[in-house]
Amino acid sequence: MKTGARAVQGSLSFLQDLLSDYRPRDFAVRLWEGTTWGAERGQPVRFTLVLNHPGALRTMFWPPGELPLAEAYIHDDFDIEGSIEDVFPLADHLLGRHRSTSERLRQGRRLLSLPNARRGARPGREAAKLRGTRHSKVRDRRAVTYHYDVPGEFYALWLDRRMVYSCAYFATPDEDLDSAQERKLDYICRKLRLRPGERVLDIGCGWGGLVIHAARRYGVSALGVTLSGPQAELANERIRRAGLADRCRVEVRDYREIEGWGEYDKLVSVGMFEHVGEKRLPDYFSRAYALLRPGGVFLNHGISRNPNVPRRRGPTFISRYVFPDGELVPIGTTVGAAESSGFEVRDVESLREHYALTLGHWVRWLEERHEQARRIVDERTYRVWRLYMSGSAHAFRTGGINIYQTLLLRTDRGESRLPLTRADWYS
């Protein structure tokens, strides 16, 4: 049998063994020379895995683990045609299933009989290589820079018109993203109960969407801080264009460098505290507590992990290529750290379904603008974002991760000064 034919037969044999217990098999596999292994009879083809060379399966599954599988996709050893989010139940099965020693040996032998070759790697995004003390100021800045210093034009392709890079708030599942993001910004402002003239601090403000909204709609004076220079530059340009430079600004600053104890009426942080690190959460909340005046509130909006879902061993795709040093903790850990810093917890709300919807919009827009994205960034960067956002959407839909808005109060000698009900949040 010729080498090419042996690789085809070996790949099909490995796939049939690997997926013998996976049902329903509602996808197809197409090999590099055109051979197709179709879905089970009567099943719709939700997506097609395209193996781009004879060594693709070996690259995907050897050594076994999440990271090699993800790297095989971003390096174009295989491709995904159709709905990428539909791939993740299969990935969960492959990465979570316990296999006996005899199964692992048999499948390992089949894998190692396949060609040991990867197509010439394209130039593009490399894995993060951070040095220094974890969650030190220098290392945190490098970690944030690694993710956010991708050109703003890339993000603008698939974010809403305000460039809000966090969970939207939908009235209905089919609502458009721009409306849902505006609703989220306003919902946060109502939860904070902003009043004209108040001083507001936004920790991890991104491209300034919330500080602009709060200054324009609620008449506050807002300071946003970020660790990304390009983010701050674009945010301040947007503030100037909006005619709000006298009421808000964005600075490049670490939350640990913010001064002005007791000077802020309200604090907010949206999608930033995942970068803080579990061991530093008490310091994060203590600093926020000190920055607030008595009677002030802090809305912390962030992702948490489900403590009932086992964590996979080894390095992850997200930690290497998306958010290096990012840490997700259970909501109980977050609340405990906030309370130990002096805060009173006034409200905790899950927006899990809303983030799944948000990510669905982002992935669709990114896929529709693939060619435009490739003119701004490299193909590997496009694939990293497509994979991480679709995987996150799946994790939110299935409950592996969650997103919470937690409203925290610094009481004034026991007085809350808050209304008895939440009615004003929904008016």
Residue 43 identity (one-letter amino acid): Q
- Quick one: 99 and 183 in the same domain? no
Q: At what angle do helices 66-74 and 379-398 cross, to 10 degrees?
A: 140
pTM of structure: 0.95
Strand arrangement, sheet containing 292-305: 248-252, 221-226, 199-203, 264-270, 292-305, 401-409, 344-350
- Quick one: 78 and 225 in the same domain? no
What are 159's two structure tokens? 């974010």
User: Torsion angle of alpha carbons 58, 63, 65, 70, nearest 10°?
Assistant: -50
In a domain, 131, yes or no: no
Q: What is the mean pLDDT of the chain?
A: 94
Residue 359: which CATH number? Answer: 3.40.50.150
Asked whether the bond before 310 is cis by omega within 30 degrees of 0, the reply is no
In a domain, 128, yes or no: no
Residue 80: which CATH number? Answer: 3.30.1050
Greatest alpha-carbon pair distance for the chain in Å reads 84
Per-residue pLDDT tens over the stretch 219-254: 999 999 999 999 999 999 999 999 999 999 999 999
User: String of b and e for 109-130 (b: at least 16 CB within 10 Å)?
Assistant: ebbeebbeebeeeeebbeebee
Classify residue 425 by its DSSP letter.
G
Per-residue pLDDT tens over the stretch 66-86: 999 999 999 999 999 999 999
- Quick one: 171 and 41 in the same domain? no
In a domain, 129, yes or no: no
Please give the pLDDT value at position 121: 61
Asked whether the bond before 63 is cis by omega within 30 degrees of 0, the reply is yes
In a domain, 8, yes or no: yes
Please state, in angstroms and rounded to a whole number, the distance separating the CA atoms of residues 362 and 21. Answer: 33
Per-residue pLDDT tens over the stretch 353-396: 999 999 999 999 999 999 999 999 999 999 999 999 999 999 99
Note down the domain range covering 102: 3-112
* CA distances from residue 288 to 263, 265, 300, 338, 417 in whole angstroms, order as listed: 11, 11, 10, 9, 19
For the chain, report the end-to-end CA distance as a whole number of angstroms.
74
Neighbours of 376 (CB within 10 A): 17
- Quick one: 322 and 390 in the same domain? yes
- Quick one: 71 and 191 in the same domain? no
In a domain, 376, yes or no: yes
- Each residue's pLDDT, cut to its tens digit, for the chain (427 residues) gives 556 889 999 999 999 999 988 999 999 999 999 999 999 888 999 999 999 999 999 999 999 899 999 999 999 999 999 999 999 999 999 998 888 888 888 888 888 889 887 765 667 899 999 999 999 999 999 999 999 889 999 999 999 999 999 999 999 999 999 999 999 999 999 999 999 999 999 999 999 999 999 999 999 999 999 999 999 999 999 999 999 999 999 999 999 999 888 999 999 999 999 999 999 999 999 999 999 999 999 999 999 999 999 888 778 999 999 999 999 999 999 999 999 999 999 999 999 999 999 999 999 999 999 999 999 999 999 999 999 999 999 999 999 999 999 999 999 999 999 999 999 999 7
3-state helix/strand/coil string of 305-373: ECCCCCCCCCCCHHHHHCCCCCCCCCHHHHHHHHHHCCCEEEEEEECHHHHHHHHHHHHHHHHHCHHHH
What phi-psi label fits residue 414: left (phi over 0), alpha (psi between -120 and 50 degrees) or beta?
left
